[in-house]
Amino acid sequence: MPFLHNFTLWPGCESEKNLGTAVAGGVEMKGLQMSLLPLESTKGNVVLGEHKFSPYFETNLLSRFADVSGYAESCFEIVRKSALNYLAQNPEYHAHLDQLRRYLAEDKKAAVTQGTSLANNSSSENILESSLLQLFGADTSVGVTEWQEKVPDLLKNDQLLSGLVKSDCLKSILEVILQNGSSTKVNAVQYDMNSQNVGICKSVISFGDLIPYVDINYCLAGPGVQGPVENTDTLLSRVSFINWELNGINTAPSAIREADVLILDNVLSSTSHDPTDFLSKAAQLVQDKGFILIQEPTHNLALPFLMKVLSGRIHDGEGRFCDVASWKNIFQNAGLKLVAEKSDGLLNTLFLCRRIDRDSPMNNIIVSVMADDMDFRWVDDLQRGLRRQAEEGGTVWLYSDNPLNGIYGMMKVFKLEKPKADIR
């Protein structure tokens, strides 16, 4: 399994022996290293760099927590017991009954959840459960209009619907993008189809503030984008809003071209276009070898489908929810390479894909240097590898099984000295 090594040796460390320990306020903290921000940094504060090993592929980020898993199962059970009956009693929803039945039939857990209590014990973070109980339960005064008004808050705040983008896995994805980029500035563009979902936007900016040496320039674009929905929100004040529809790369404003990462949050399941064609077109907004970050429901699909139906955000041909395997096939057909996959194990999955330039020549020369010797004899091997790479092209790989030898810090220094060099 591939691993991302997040350990950072920041410039200014006195010796290799001090790696992994920082002192703040007289208290020694294991696993942390105080960073020294460059003068040109716009953050204005000192950032602590954490070191840990984060796998590129994680499939149960939230399902391993009993409280979140139990809460999710309670929401799913409400949908299983009440959704079909609710839609059947409302003629305006009859067109969606067959698709909902299919999603419920595909839910393998439906047969083993008999007797689940539907008592409303939700907390302030469990607003989805409370809303579902009001909609389907004894409180018949709750109508679809009131439900539609709740949807934006559900998407932003509920611990099941937004739990994945609020977890540390999003920070590790940002670090992958940064480490594989050509500078310490990340131009992020979020394309939104029919609603201003700012949940992932605020999370990306917040986690970016926790990564030393990186500045994120964030732009939210889409046909329904009008401007910041919360004028007093300090995070949203750092976002540019552009009203634009993805109907041709030639019409794209300059501010959203050549993005380092394009973010599609529940977009592919909200378009009537073929997802492969849509992705191929959207990828043109990203620079060569840039990234596309995609979040889509992949488990218990009856719930996200029902939310789209009841919120009036679904039309003919939309709502193409897929499992993980189907999405991977779509990415491949769209010319994207899957780099990382982070699933909560309950509902949603984050996919990090990289744009592949099919027209560029493939150079398969690889120079491998094992860098575990603490006497640094491998530096001579590295110099020879760099000379060969300069003459023949290809890639120089620097490997290490030792997390404390300073390789990552050396790479970080190189990137700061030559920010446009292809170093990672």
* Measured distance CA(298)–CA(204) in Å, rounded: 21
Q: Residue 17: which residues within 8 A CB-CB, separation 6 or more?
A: none
At 115 the pLDDT is 37
HEC readout, the chain: CCEEECCCCCCCCCCHHHCCEEEECCEEEECEEECCCCCCCCCCCCCEEECCEEECEECCCCCCCHHHHHHHHHHHHHHHHHHHHHHHCCHHHHHHHHHHHHHHHHCCCHHHCCCCCCCCCCCCCCHHHHHHHHHHCCCCCCCHHHHHHHHHHHHHHCCCCCCCCCCHHHHHHHHHHHHCCCCCEEEEEEECCCCCCCHHHHHHHHHHCCCCCCEEEEEEEECCCCCCCCCCCCCHHHEEEEECCCCCHHHCCHHHCCEEEEEEECCHHHCCCCHHHHHHHHHHHEEEEEEEEEEEECCCCHHHHHHHHHCCCCCCCCCCCCCHHHHHHHHHHCCEEEEEEEECCCCEEEEEEEECCCCCCCCCCEEEEECCCCCCCHHHHHHHHHHHHHHHCCEEEEECCCCCCCHHHHHHHHHHHCCCCCCC
At 2 the pLDDT is 36
Sign of CA dihedral 200, 35, 396, 58: negative
Please, are residues 326 and 298 in contact by the beta-carbon 8 Å criterion? no
- pLDDT digit string (tens) for 256-278? 888 999 999 998 988 878 889 99
Closest residue by Cα to residue 342 from 54, 15, 110: 54
Q: Enumerate residue ranges in the chain where pLDDT < 70.
A: 1-53, 108-125, 138-142, 182-183, 194-196, 228-231, 248-249, 315-319, 357-369, 371, 399-405, 408, 418-424
Please, are residues 308 and 319 in contact by the beta-carbon 8 Å criterion? yes
- Secondary structure of residue 379 in the 3-state scheme: helix
Closest residue by Cα to residue 128 from 318, 296, 306: 306
* Measured distance CA(219)–CA(282) in Å, rounded: 15
At 253 the pLDDT is 86
At 123 the pLDDT is 53
* Measured distance CA(129)–CA(313) in Å, rounded: 20
- Residue ranges per domain, the chain? 3-55+361-417, 66-157, 164-355
Residue 215's DSSP bridge partners are: 185
Q: What is the DSSP letter of 217?
A: E
At 28 the pLDDT is 40
- Secondary structure of residue 113 in the 3-state scheme: coil
- Secondary structure of residue 93 in the 3-state scheme: helix
Residue 320 structure tokens: 């193409």
* Measured distance CA(315)–CA(308) in Å, rounded: 9
pTM comes to 0.76
- Secondary structure of residue 299 in the 3-state scheme: coil
Domain 164-355 has CATH 3.40.50.150: yes
At 240 the pLDDT is 87
Residue 219 structure tokens: 């732009």
CA 227 from centroid of its chain's CA atoms: 23
Closest residue by Cα to residue 186 from 221, 215, 209: 215
- Beta strand 32-34 with 48-50: parallel, antiparallel or unpaired? antiparallel
